[in-house]
Amino acid sequence: MNVVALLDALEFAADKHRNQKRKDAERSPYVNHLIAVTRILAAEGGVDDEAALLAAVLHDTVEDTPTTFEELTARFGATVSELVREMTDDKALEKAVRKQHQIDHAPGLSPLGKQLKIADKIANSKRQGEYQKFIIKLRAEAIIDWKNDEIKKAYEVGLKEEEAAAAAANREPGTGVR
């Protein structure tokens, strides 16, 4: 991994997102999200592919700033730009349509694109305190080849918690039936 390239991408993204804040209670700087996604991808996902890590840092630049794919290609290369393209939502669509589009197109993402999408979702769900809901949703969407032991453990814990909650409510797990 070229650390200078990663720092260049981080500096680029921080500049592009400089006036943006997260929607959390602290209104934290947007760059914190980009760092979190990159850390999750590397540390929890075991990804050391340079293009994937650069794309993690840059994944929201086209969607949320005036950055173009051509600009990313010129500065960071076609592979990084294409990974960012896989992550970019069409903001012209209504939110519900965008979210459904993500679900519909997730199986067709590249393997690195899937890992990047998962890291982004984990970063967002951790921030929102909805990690267990996210894990159960992923199970339903069936878009992942579970490679990472930490994510597998979280998935298993999520199922055990769902089963315990179902027993407490006297219903079958995964259903609303009592």
Q: Is 60 a catalytic residue?
A: no
29 within a domain of the structure (yes/no): yes
CATH of the domain at 118: 1.10.3210.10
d(CA 147, CA 111): 11
Greatest pairwise CA separation for the chain in angstroms: 58
* Inside any domain, residue 85: yes
Banded model confidence at residue 177, pLDDT cuts 50, 70, 90: very low
Residue 22 CA neighbour count, 13 Å, CB half = 17
Q: How far apart are CA 57 and CA 83, in angstroms?
A: 11
| Higher-pLDDT residue of 69, 142 | 69
Query: Among residues 8, 63, 89, 162, which one is catalytic?
Result: 63
Q: For the chain, what is the domain count?
A: 1
The answer to whether position 159 is within a domain reads no
Question: Does the pLDDT value for residue 111 go beyond 80?
Answer: yes
Confidence band (pLDDT; 50, 70, 90) for 134?
A: low
Query: Is residue 99, in this structure, part of any structural domain at all?
Result: yes
Is it the case that residue 176 has pLDDT exceeding 50? no
pLDDT tens column, 39-67: 999 998 899 999 999 999 999 999 999 99
Which tops the pLDDT comparison, 132 or 89? Answer: 89
Residue 158 lies in a domain: no
Among residues 11, 26, 60, 64, the one annotated as catalytic is 64
Measured distance CA(80)–CA(76) in Å, rounded: 6
The verdict on whether 161 is a catalytic residue reads no
Reported as a pLDDT band with limits 50, 70 and 90, residue 14 is very high
What is the extent of the structural domain holding 96?
A: 3-127
78 is a domain residue:
yes
Task: Evaluate whether residue 35 is within a structural domain.
Answer: yes
Answer whether residue 92 is part of any domain: yes
Long-range contacts of 120-128 (CB under 8 A, 24+ apart): 120/37, 120/56, 120/59, 120/87, 122/40, 122/44, 123/33, 123/36, 123/37, 123/40, 124/33, 126/36, 127/22, 127/24, 127/33, 127/36
pTM of the full structure:
0.71
